[in-house]
């Protein structure tokens, strides 16, 4: 599984000013050290990949691709943090972590960190996977990873340092880790850095299990089957609207029904609408399984020009939180009554995505929404059932 293919979801919608309708592999790169029985620890080995690592030799940051396009040109990050959290251990310390720079990850030499007893090996097979080794206790654990840029409003290491060495299982706390949608907001390469955040957790490719048994009997299986593939976290919502059809002549009377139609503004509404920006979970699929609350906030888009009020397009990047958002449009319409007087009205139309893609936005996915404004029966709320 060297590459992941990404999906472009497209939803076509016709918004009536009076109605809404929709159509909508094993690695033996280096022999590990002998296990240490004295302290009930051993060297654990598994493989890691990040987006674009298959094409690392050609990686650039000259343009920003959409989530869903694996071009190898989006690795605008400088830190990779690997987290090991025990579900069961005889040790007081149950959470271990180490951070590598991007230069260390792509190095042609073995990178060794003495303070954590860990090693990162080069990608000698050119398959995008690097073998990671670390001295860890016997027991059961889960393994997580995240790439990010240091100093951009996200500090996972700082949060990990707050975890106590008291022998407890802190996996739920790891799953609750969040990243703000204001991440890298003051950076000129904000979008590139935003979509370069990648997360994932290790699985056994033989049986898809997520809990690793660290034991002397499991050494070869760890090296052969355990993989952690990090994938981009951000989702992209691409919204395009067109109100021109509202000015088309009525087929029965030959008259134009509306003399003025404007989409003055619209909003992306996450579940936590009381938050202006909100955040996403580092591991939204796991957060969804845990039924964690919605934390994605609201983003308003104001159409300031006459042209943009008639038709336009905007992209919104967000970190998923395991919940489905809504998108609301505010339409201002003007019709001419039989008396000749202008009748102005403002209406709000809502697209509810609660039934799509397992009831939530998926990471590394591009959602395309086409909105066409016409003059038909009134229906101000619609549930989007599917993207095709």
Q: Give the range among 16-20, 62-66, 342-346 with minimum mean pLDDT.
A: 16-20
Say if CB 350 and CB 326 are below 8 A apart: yes
Number of CB atoms found within 10 A of residue 251's CB: 6
> What tokens appear for 208 in the block?
């898809």
pTM: 0.83
Q: How many residues does the chain have?
A: 388
Confidence at 156, pLDDT banded by 50, 70, 90: very high
Q: For residue 60, what are its two tokens?
A: 């650039």
DSSP letters for 285-337: HHHHHTTPPP-B-EEEEE--SHHHHHEEEEEEEE---SS--EEEEEEEEEEE-
For residue 3, what pLDDT band results from cuts at 50, 70 and 90?
very low
pLDDT given for residue 56 in this prediction: 46
- Most distant pair of Cα atoms in the chain: their distance: 95
User: How far is CA 345 from its chain centroid?
Assistant: 38
Distance, in Å, from the CA atom of 180 to the CA atom of 53, rounded to the nearest integer, reads 25
CA atoms within 13 A on the CB side of 258: 23
Structure letter (DSSP) for residue 194: H
Alpha-carbon torsion (143, 146, 151, 156), positive or negative = negative
Residue 386 pLDDT grade (very low, low, confident, very high; cuts 50, 70, 90): low
Per-position b or e across 63-92, b if 16+ CB within 10 A of its CB: ebbbbbbbebbbbbbbbbbbbbbbeebebe
Q: What pLDDT score was predicted for residue 63?
A: 43
Average pLDDT score over the chain: 81
pLDDT of residue 103: 97
State the average pLDDT over residues 123-128: 88
Q: Indicate if the pLDDT at residue 57 is higher than 60.
A: no
Question: Which residues share a beta bridge with 318?
Answer: 235
CB 326 within 8 A of CB 351: yes
* pLDDT value at 36 more than 50: no
d(Cα 296, Cα 301) in Å, to the nearest integer? Answer: 16
Alpha helices in the chain (DSSP H): 102-105, 156-161, 171-175, 190-194, 219-225, 284-289, 306-310
172 close to 115: Cβ distance less than 8 angstroms: no
For a pLDDT cut of 70, what percent of the chain falls above it? Answer: 74
Burial of 364 (0-12, 13-18, 19+ CB in 10 A): buried
pLDDT at 112: 97
More confident residue, 262 or 19: 262
Q: Find the radius of gyration of the CA atoms of the chain.
A: 25
Sign of CA pseudo-dihedral 358, 209, 116, 174: positive
pLDDT digits (tens, 9 = 90+) for 213-230: 999 888 888 889 999 999
Q: 53 CB contacts (<8 Å, ≥6 apart)?
A: 75, 105, 106, 123, 128, 129, 130
Span 164-185, pLDDT tens digits: 999 999 999 999 999 999 999 9
Angle, vertex CA 126, rays to CA 124 and CA 128, nearest 5: 110
Q: Give the tens place of pLDDT for each residue, 366-378.
A: 988 888 877 655 5
Res. 244: pLDDT tops 50: yes
């Amino acid at each position: 599984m060297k590459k992941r293919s990404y999906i472009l979801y497209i939803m076509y919608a016709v918004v009536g000013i009076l109605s809404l309708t929709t159509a909508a592999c094993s690695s033996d790169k280096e022999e590990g050290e002998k296990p240490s029985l004295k302290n009930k620890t051993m060297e654990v080995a598994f493989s890691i990949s990040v987006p674009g690592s298959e094409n690392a030799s050609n990686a650039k940051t000259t343009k920003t691709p959409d989530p869903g396009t694996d071009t190898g040109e989006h690795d605008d990050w400088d830190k990779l943090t690997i987290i090991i959290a025990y579900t069961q251990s005889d040790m007081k310390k149950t959470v271990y972590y180490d951070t590598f720079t991007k230069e260390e990850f792509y190095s042609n030499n073995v990178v060794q960190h003495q303070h954590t007893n860990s090693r990162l090996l080069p990608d000698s097979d050119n398959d995008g996977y690097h073998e990671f080794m670390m001295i860890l206790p016997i027991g059961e654990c889960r393994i997580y990873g995240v790439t990010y840029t240091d100093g951009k409003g996200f500090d996972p290491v700082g949060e990990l340092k707050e975890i106590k060495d008291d022998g407890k299982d802190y996996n739920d706390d790891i799953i609750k880790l969040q990243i703000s949608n204001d991440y890298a907001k003051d950076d000129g390469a904000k979008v590139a850095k935003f979509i370069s955040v990648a997360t994932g957790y290790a699985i056994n490719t033989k049986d898809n299990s997520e809990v690793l048994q660290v034991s002397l009997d499991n050494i070869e299986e760890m090296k052969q089957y355990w993989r952690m593939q990090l994938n981009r976290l951000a989702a992209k919502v691409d919204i395009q609207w067109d109100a021109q059809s509202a000015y088309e002549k009525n087929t029965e009377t030959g008259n134009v029904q509306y003399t003025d139609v404007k989409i003055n503004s619209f909003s992306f509404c996450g579940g936590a609408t009381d938050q202006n920006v909100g955040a996403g979970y580092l591991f939204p699929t796991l957060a969804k399984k845990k039924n964690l609350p919605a934390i994605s906030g609201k983003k308003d888009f104001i159409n300031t020009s006459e042209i943009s009020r008639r038709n336009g397009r905007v992209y919104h990047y967000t970190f998923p939180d395991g919940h489905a958002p809504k998108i609301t449009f505010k339409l201002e319409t003007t019709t001419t009554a039989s008396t000749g007087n202008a009748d102005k009205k403002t209406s709000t139309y809502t697209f509810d995505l609660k039934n799509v893609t397992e009831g939530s936005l998926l990471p590394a996915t591009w959602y395309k929404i086409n909105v066409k404004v016409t003059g038909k029966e009134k229906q101000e709320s619609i549930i989007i059932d599917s993207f095709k």
